[in-house]
Amino acid sequence: MLSEQLDQLVEDALGSFKAATNSKSLYDAKVKYLGKSGKFTEILKGLGKLSKEERPAAGKLVNEKKKELEEAYSQILSNLETAELNKKIEGDFFNFSFPGSSEAQIGSRHPIGLVIEEMISILSRLGFAVRTGPHIESDEKNFSKLNFPKDHPARDMQDTFYIGKDHVLRTHTSPIQIRTMETEPPPLRILAPGSVFRCDSDISHSPNFYQVEGLYVDKKVSMAHLKGIIGFFVREFFGEKTKTRFRPSYFPFTEPSAEVDCTCPICKGKGCRTCSNSGWIEIGGCGLVHPNVLSSCGLDTDKWQGLAFGFGVERMAMIKFGISDIRLFNENLVNFSNQFNGAL
């Protein structure tokens, strides 16, 4: 009697589940049969009227049927939802090639990349072309061929990361100059941009920073050419009124050597915090290539002379944009980089 009643109920319920055309009407049908005041609950409540002996078997049967119906419901629901989703996707409502409603966040060029590009762009107008080289260099190309004799105290000028006995993380991009002179015949006009490494870290020094170096090898090269090239570069980079001066200095690979100062682009030479009130700011080093360097690359020093110069890219960017801490370049903050969009 109970079992017949249950079978009829399951049949009716399945009928209305299958008749449901969407998940909403399916849910309504579920509530009608399996909900708190649904027909199954009514039957379960009615079990109280049965005798004590009949009750366990009847309860078990009702629960079995209920479970059967719940499983059927889940299956039908899943089919309906899939069909509904497919309909949405196929219909005109969804267009997957349409742009999203929120504005996309656009990334930003890093100021170091922008400055390197600008430096190359200016110097390429004087005929300089880019050459590159590896970060790990032989001691020979990083030091010996650049006139740093073994055990020479000049090697202490650059705190070096050694890799074994004979290799280093390049401390400057000058080995690129060596590589070029060894493989390409003069006359040469090349730029060596890239990252370099030194054991040094504070507010104005980073263990990994960027340089752009220039090398010019030709006949009868003089300090006048060097002043001309650097003056042109500085005026193009910092502004047409920027003046340049050379101070005598020492580097193993150039003779004579000079440090390059320019009038402070921030105060225009009047004196400010950045230039320590001097009106001048140091931006790089330069000189005529030491004959030992030319001959170490097989060049005849009676015939060929060279000039070379080098700038720290971070320093150029800090002066140009008024950035006070070199570590900002390595912190990967998009808010930092965003400020330089369109600046160069």
Strands 188-197 and 129-130, by their bridges, are parallel
- The answer to whether residue 267 forms part of the interface with Zn ion (CB under 5 A) is yes
Match 């005041």 to its residue by tokens. 37
Instruction: Provide CB contacts within 8 A for 21, sequence distance 6+.
Output: none
Pull the structure tokens for residue 166: 């004979």
Binding positions for Zn ion, 116-145, rule CB under 5 A: none
Q: How many residues line the site for Zn ion (CB under 5 A)? A: 6
Rounded CA gap, 213 and 192, in Å? Answer: 5
Q: Which of 196, 275, 289, 308 binds Zn ion (CB under 5 A)?
A: 275
Please say which residue, 170 or 320, places its beta carbon nearer to Zn ion.
320
C-beta contacts of 151-155 below 8 A and 24+ residues apart: 152/252, 154/252
Site string for Zn ion, 214-253 (x = CB under 5 A): ----------------------------------------
Rounded CA gap, 115 and 176, in Å? Answer: 20
Q: Which of 266, 323, 328, 344 binds Zn ion (CB under 5 A)?
A: 266
Please say which residue, 44 or 272, places its beta carbon nearer to Zn ion.
272
Rounded CA gap, 261 and 136, in Å? Answer: 31
Q: Which of 10, 272, 323, 328 binds Zn ion (CB under 5 A)?
A: 272
> Which of these segments, 33-41, 219-227, 269-277, 304-312, binds Zn ion (CB under 5 A)?
269-277
Please say which residue, 293 or 318, places its beta carbon nearer to Zn ion.
318
> Which of these segments, 3-11, 35-43, 92-100, 257-265, binds Zn ion (CB under 5 A)?
257-265
Taking the complex as a whole, how short is the minimal distance between the CB of residue 281 and Zn ion, in angstroms? 7
Site string for Zn ion, 48-77 (x = CB under 5 A): ------------------------------
- The answer to whether residue 282 forms part of the interface with Zn ion (CB under 5 A) is no
Please say which residue, 116 or 281, places its beta carbon nearer to Zn ion.
281
Taking the complex as a whole, how short is the minimal distance between the CB of residue 333 and Zn ion, in angstroms? 26
Please say which residue, 47 or 272, places its beta carbon nearer to Zn ion.
272
Taking the complex as a whole, how short is the minimal distance between the CB of residue 226 and Zn ion, in angstroms? 25
Rounded CA gap, 232 and 315, in Å? Answer: 18
Taking the complex as a whole, how short is the minimal distance between the CB of residue 266 and Zn ion, in angstroms? 5
Q: Which of 264, 299, 313, 318 binds Zn ion (CB under 5 A)?
A: 264
Q: Is the Cβ–Cβ distance between 281 and 274 less than 8 Å?
A: yes
Please say which residue, 262 or 264, places its beta carbon nearer to Zn ion.
264
Sign of CA dihedral 22, 28, 33, 36: positive
**Can you give the binding site for Zn ion, defined by CB under 5 A?**
264, 266-267, 272, 274-275
